[in-house]
Amino acid sequence: MEILLSSVSATTQFFGKLAGIFALLLTQLVIYVIAGVIGWQFLKNQTMVAGLLKQVDLSILASGTTAMIALFFIIGTLTYSVLAALTGSLVSNQEQVQQAVMPITMLGMIGYFITIAAQANDSTLAQVTSYVPFLNVFVMPTQMSLGRASMGQAWVSVGISVVFLALFTFFTVAVYRNNVLVYSGSGLWQSMKTSFSIWKAERGVAKK
């Protein structure tokens, strides 16, 4: 890490990691699409497949809802990647990895369970979390698919997510820059407090 940071800044390294994650995701999607196209060529004339396709309205794929769901997917991927970078920068050994993964897992599980519950009942919780960063990328697409949210409401949720992502990325870059070469066994939350104190001190020096 020290050798790498002697060549590029921590900020450049941070965004390079995000770009690498996103490129890996796109590569996987391309592989799935290619596999799907190849599979379609082999299976499209099968009686069972043809019967199933007659029951599916493929025109929905060209709708604005599908495009909006794809947008939420991209925003969600970026937001959770930034969160992973944040928590990853706060741990310094293999034993602490579980601490770094826990916040990501918890948020994902909460969003998943709210989505499951929303399919049976349009609760106030589902309506509110449709606009809450980290959770709205799960809940809002479900609400739209069930006809409970309009395109305008979806755009409001997207706007909130984009603003949050920008601010969260700015904060994460600051924390990452302070912690990337700090090796401490004090735990996730103590490292966060230490990093925040360093960040405040740096801002105070910069103002002087």
Asked if 200 and 113 sit in the same domain, the reply is yes
Rounded to an integer, what distance in angstroms lies between the CA atom of residue 51 and that of residue 135? 36
Q: Is 125 contained in some domain?
A: yes
pLDDT of 192 above 80:
no
Per-residue pLDDT of 3-50, as tens digits, reads: 565 567 778 888 888 888 889 988 998 999 899 888 878 877 777 766
* Two structure tokens written together for 49: 């497949």
* Two structure tokens written together for 137: 């990328």
Q: Residue 38, CB half-sphere, CA atoms under 13 Å: how many?
A: 6
Which amino acid, 58?
A: L
Rounded to an integer, what distance in angstroms lies between the CA atom of residue 46 and that of residue 144? 33
Asked if 163 and 199 sit in the same domain, the reply is yes
* Two structure tokens written together for 48: 């069972």
Asked if 91 and 192 sit in the same domain, the reply is yes
Residues 22, 77 contacting (CB under 8 angstroms): yes
Could you tell me the residue range of the domain that residue 39 belongs to? 8-56
pTM reported for the whole predicted model: 0.79
pLDDT of 208 above 60:
no
